[in-house]
Amino acid sequence: MARLDPHSYTESSQPLAKHVALTLYFDFAARTIHGSALLTLPAAHTGPLLLDTRSLLIHSVLDPRTTAPIPFSFPSDPTPDPVLGQPLCLSLSAQSAALVVFSTSPSSSALQWLSPAQTASKAQPFVYTQCQSIHARSLFPCQDTPAARLVFSARLNLPHPLTAVMAAARAAAPRDPVPGEAGSACPDALWCAAGRSVEEFIMDRPIPPYLFAFAAGDIAARDVGLRTRVHAEGGAALLDAAAREFAGAEEMIRAGEALFGPYEWGRFDLLVLPPSFPYGGMENPMMVFLTPTVIKGDASGAQVVAHELAHSWTGNLITNKTNEHFWLNEGFTTYAERRIVEVVQGEETAALNMGIGWRGLNDEMDRFKDNMEFTKLKPNLEGIDPDEIYSQVPYEKGFQFLWRIERQVGRPTFDVFLKKYIAKFKFQSIDTETFLEFLKANLPGIENQIDLKQWVEGTGIPPDAMEPLSSIYSKIVSLSNEFKLGNIPKKQEVANWSGQEWELYIENLPKSVEPSQIAALDAHYRLSESRDYEVKVAFLQLAISSGCKEYFGEVERTLKQVGRMKYLRPLYTALVQGNAEEAKLSARRIFAETRDTYHPIAQGVVESILAKHS
């Protein structure tokens, strides 16, 4: 037998579930969900069926027609694999469905439970999911590979006055629980207890398990477009700010449709999560999750929304078959995002975005200089936790590959190709080889014009990659070079700069400069106090690397305010990789004091950084 995916126990010889019906009872006090997952196969199956699990307690497996037990076992070492978890093997006998009754663990990596004190309201608890890359298995037993697409229904039982949102369509208004409807998932005494309500959702388009998502808490909402509603836990002020920041969502959707074809998901709603959310955004279909750090007050945070929107075509509609082909999701989406931004916000803004990406890609070459395997578009990830090697490579090298093809064949021809590609493979999970075959079939001779093998299998940045060129980009890089000579930008030179320009400027400065230069730059422009975390963190990282101890206090405040890994990684790394013992001790103390406020995924990433520099 062969595994379908290096990050899943799913066997290629076994059928893939096509539907799952979930019944979930939320126990906030125990930070646990009691539930059942009714998995339906395309046809009756006899023999083993392997499912992925991690930190799940399996109570029973039943035949849903007869309620007879289905034999199950855990056919692996009693110690779960730290990355994959533990396989659950069902022994089916001419059966096309199985009902798995389970409970999650408080340590589930897919869930973050927040106490009332950790929320903006300070009155109600909150919980949300993050299933990418391979965390759905800690939420419910499933074939946790992007190769396995399925539709689902979900019934959620919550305490009053909490409400839920989900990356799915709401099937009905919240209602009272009904005796017997939870079946084996939860006894009626709990399910129908006073002060509980039930909410139901349906996703009728096949998605991979990593896109399963919900949140529950004191959530308010506001419409900002024909297809978009903004949700937030943080109260009226945050909701107002989010509504202003993302007011252009409908214009972006229309731009995306013009470029890539119909928007297939109906709604494009947004949920602004608490600051502990570990990513900038998560492209959950119909309900994008966002960090509050993208709300900057100048609509520039909408570029993150453009990226998550672009996933509606490249990532959600067409999905990488495994994480070894992650560039098919993120390279395409980065390209699509910049095309949308170019239409909505202009060519200069898109060029700045490209410039920041180019700088980030070059930085990743330095990060992986001792293991260049991870600079490939299609790396070997056997035995590797995808969260640990998450980087800009699939995003920016993938973007560069597609941009290289566009430059070769011309934008009009490439636009036709893109629409054809999306129409051909929508609602499918594919690998790099499938893409390359389609590319060569639809752009004949491209393999003779571009070294496709070097782009996909080669390490580093190919020689025909290109640094973006624009007047504003060139001006910023020139000013960065002037800083190396001791010159700080004049106020008139930066008068119209937004956070994006400052981010690009800082990213192009030397990795370490004289502390006096750092202090002078900050005295002029107060970058350490910027409301834009992209600017603030880039500056603080430079300050740490330059040995400026006076900024340690601001670094600590930042690490205790946000849990976005894009900020945690560089700041913790900068603290521990130098020679200053004080900085290393500070990093460990801050993490010890803050660990429980971070999402489990972020906890693991920071622990890995600290372990490498112990």
Find out whether 390 is annotated in a ligand binding site: no
Find out whether 280 is annotated in a ligand binding site: yes
Residue 516 gets the label, from left (phi > 0), alpha (psi -120 to 50) or beta, of: alpha
Tell me which residue of 222, 240, 218 sits closest to 230, measured CA to CA: 222
Find out whether 458 is annotated in a ligand binding site: no
**Rounded to whole angstroms, how far apart are CA atoms 66 and 464?**
62
Read off the amino acid at residue 448.
N
Report the half-sphere exposure of 375 (CA within 13 A, side-chain side).
19
Place of tokens 């034999």: 71
Find out whether 357 is annotated in a ligand binding site: no
Find out whether 548 is annotated in a ligand binding site: no
Find out whether 131 is annotated in a ligand binding site: yes
- Which is the catalytic residue, given 25, 210, 390, 395? 395
**Rounded to whole angstroms, how far apart are CA atoms 331 and 397?**
7
Find out whether 541 is annotated in a ligand binding site: no
Angle at 387 between CA 383 and CA 393, to 5 degrees: 95
Helix (H, G, I), strand (E, B) or coil at 502: helix
Torsion angle defined by CA atoms of residues 45, 50, 56 and 62, in that order, rounded to the nearest 10 degrees: 20
Structure tokens at 178: 């009904």
395 is annotated as an active-site residue: yes
Helix (H, G, I), strand (E, B) or coil at 228: coil
Find out whether 7 is annotated in a ligand binding site: no
- Which is the catalytic residue, given 308, 342, 396, 556? 308
Find out whether 279 is annotated in a ligand binding site: yes
Question: Regarding beta strands 269-272 and 229-232, do their DSSP bridges make them parallel or antiparallel, or are they unpaired?
Answer: parallel
Contact 559, 536 (CB under 8 A): no
Find out whether 566 is annotated in a ligand binding site: yes
Find out whether 311 is annotated in a ligand binding site: yes
**Rounded to whole angstroms, how far apart are CA atoms 423 and 261?**
8
Report the half-sphere exposure of 583 (CA within 13 A, side-chain side).
24
Contact 482, 451 (CB under 8 A): no
Place of tokens 């980065």: 334
**Rounded to whole angstroms, how far apart are CA atoms 230 and 245?**
10
572 is annotated as an active-site residue: no
**Rounded to whole angstroms, how far apart are CA atoms 246 and 244?**
6
Structure tokens at 307: 């990226």
DSSP string, 212-228: --EEEES-EEEE-SSS-
Catalytic sites, residue numbers:
308, 395
Binding residues for a peptide: 130-132, 278-283, 564-566
Binding residues: 130-132, 278-283, 307, 311, 330, 564-566
Binding residues for Zn(2+): 307, 311, 330
